[in-house]
Chain A
Amino acid sequence: QSALTQPASVSGSPGQSITISCTGTSSDVGSYNLVSWYQQHPGKAPKLMIYEGSKRPSGVSDRFSGSKSGNTASLTISGLQAEDEADYYCCSYAVSSTLAFGGGTRLTVL
């Protein structure tokens, strides 16, 4: 079902910044600023990190930021910390009032 494309894995050292991409089409990411990002630690429920492309829910660190260019949305994590190691998923509104998830990206903090 993964309609959005994410890299399988990314890595970075503590303190560094990393960016996870989420590529869709003009039927989803490209036409709507309705991308959300979720963090999932093993065995845990996903946690909302970004919504409406770049907005952070209350309680989410400002080290997390979202952006979009064309058909690609991005999640940037600055000042990497050990607890950021997790799986990250993007999600976008798509035509016909449905939703598309990305396949997920495993972030490793070296």
Chain B
Amino acid sequence: QVQLQESGPGLVKPSETLSLTCTVSGGSISGYYWSWIRQPPGKGLEFIGYIYYSGSANYYPSLKSRVTISVDTSKNQFSLKLNSVTAADTAVYHCARFHADYTYFDLWGQGTLVTVSS
């Protein structure tokens, strides 16, 4: 079955760029939307944005100026870049498959903790 796995550095310095990759296995990335959601420690879920396999993306308004989501269909991967990070960006970052027509996430990665600290 389709599985998602996040990867990337677990520690990022303030003001630097957070970079994560989500690898989709067991199925093709083509034909779907893919998303990033984060969860600060002890807090709720926060939507970051989503991308269609063709490359068109949509971001949460308050993060839009700092976020880029990209896709690499040849590697069956999509990625997140969040620049100028602060401690407030410390969170578990999940990737997920997103159904844009009816607005729901049906498959999730386990998540990866990214800590912003010097």
Closest CB of chain B to A58's CB: distance in Å?
10
Q: Does A62 contact B (CB under 8 A)?
A: no
Q: Which of B28-59 contact A (CB under 8 A)?
A: 37, 43-47, 58
Contacting pair B104 A2 (CB below 8 A): no
Binds B, one of A46-54, A67-75, A76-84: A46-54
Identify 5 new A-B residue pairs, CB closer than 8 A, beyond the known A2-B44, A45-B108, A99-B103: A32-B103, A38-B45, A46-B105, A91-B45, A98-B60
* Minimal Cβ-Cβ distance residue in A for B107: A48
Tell me the complex Cα distance, A92–B111, Å.
21
Contacts of B60 in A (CB 8 A): 1, 98-99
The A-B contact count (CB < 8 A) is 67
A98 to B46, CA, bound (A): 11
Instruction: Please tell me which one of the listed residues A2, A91, A104 contacts residue B103 in the complex, with CB atoms under 8 A apart.
Output: A91
The closest CB in chain B to the CB of A33 belongs to B102
CA distance A99 to B45 in the complex (A): 11
Q: How many residues of B contact A (CB 8 A)?
A: 21
Interface size counted on chain A using CB atoms at 8 A: 27
Give complex CA distance A38, B104 in Å. 10
Which chain A residues have a beta carbon within 8 Å of chain B's beta carbons? 1-2, 32, 34, 36, 38, 44-48, 51-52, 57, 89, 91-93, 96-104
* Complex contact A102–B104 (CB within 8 A): no
Point out the residues of chain B lying under 8 angstroms from A44, CB to CB. 110
- B47-A99 in contact (CB<8A): yes
Assess whether A36 is in contact with B105, with CB atoms less than 8 Å apart: yes
A102 close to B44 (CB less than 8 A): yes
Most central of B104, B109, B110 by chain A CB within 10 Å: B104
Contact A92 B103 (CB under 8 A): yes
Return chain B residues, CB-CB under 8 Å to A102.
44
In the complex with contacts A1-B60, A1-B62, A89-B106 CB distance below 8 A: no
Given that A1-B62, A45-B94, A46-B94 are known contacts, is A100 also in contact with B106, CB under 8 Å in the complex?
no
B104 to A: closest C-beta gap in Å: 4
**Is B27's beta carbon under 8 Å from chain A?**
no
Q: Nearest chain B CB to A59's CB is how many angstroms away? A: 11
